[in-house]
Amino acid sequence: MQFNVMHTIDEKPGDANHTYLEMEFGGRSGIFDLYGYVDLFNPSNSSSSEKDGADRLFMKFNPRMSIDAATGVDLSFGPVQELYIASENIIDGGDAGYKTKWGIGSDVMVPWFGKMQFNLYARHDLQNHEWNGYQISTNWFKPFINFENGSFISYQGYLDYEFGMDDNNGANSSHGGAMFNGIYWHVDNFALGYGLKLYKDVYGIEDSAGFPSSGAGHYFAATYKF
């Protein structure tokens, strides 16, 4: 588990600049693999924050259940090490902000990167009680410079891409996503990093001058790891 202090510049959608706290957690126990985080926006309750008056909490919870471990059958093939039943659950400001996705996941060995997750989900629209599109997600963590004192620099990040969504509403796009590219320095219980996040119609929101959902955002992070 770790705590992050994050500052964003031009976060999409909406080009938001703000500072928030994040608790990040994850691990493997038996057949279950877990990752998630909880964000607290405007932690100082400042009236000048761009998040003033907005929902304060955002949570993402990504449990996966290993099919290999649950069945006792080795399903690995080629670079694929393990298969999972995977889900992604998001809570963002009450019932209207609750989203869930279900599908198949995998751990795959990739040259240079090592082990990466690849998950393919079907998106469930809880408000309309229907399935609406798909999402493919991957993430990585690759130390690439090591120092004599045990510290290291890593390239870490993720890619979420949604497609096949209903775009009948003029404010919606049938596809979109985001890619986070982070360069972080890690030492003992601490880390400092910068992330360049690239957006394209993120969350299926059609990009517009009044509410940008495409472009680049910048993230600065200070981390304490337990």
% of residues, the chain, pLDDT over 70: 97
Lowest model confidence (mean pLDDT) among 24-38, 91-105, 116-130, 199-213:
91-105
What would the mean pLDDT of 134-159 be, rounded to a whole number? Answer: 98
Place of tokens 């400092």: 192
pLDDT reading at 177 higher than 90: yes
Partners of 11 in the beta sheet?
A: 16
Residue of higher predicted confidence among 17 and 169: 17
pLDDT reading at 161 higher than 90: yes
Residue of higher predicted confidence among 94 and 135: 135
pLDDT reading at 96 higher than 70: no
Residues whose CB is less than 8 angstroms from the CB of residue 74 and which lie 6 or more positions away in sequence, other chains included: 68
How many residues are there in the chain? Answer: 226
What would the mean pLDDT of 123-144 be, rounded to a whole number? Answer: 92
Domain ranges in the chain are 2-225
DSSP three-state, residue 94:
coil
179-147-183 Cα angle (round to 5) = 15
Which pLDDT score is estimated for 163?
Answer: 96
Domain boundaries 2-225, corresponding CATH code: 2.40.230.20
Using a 10 angstrom Cβ sphere, with 0-12 exposed, 13-18 middle and 19 or more buried, the burial of residue 130 is exposed
- Name the residue among 101, 108, 121 with its Cα closest to residue 80: 108
Does this model's pTM top 0.85? My answer is yes
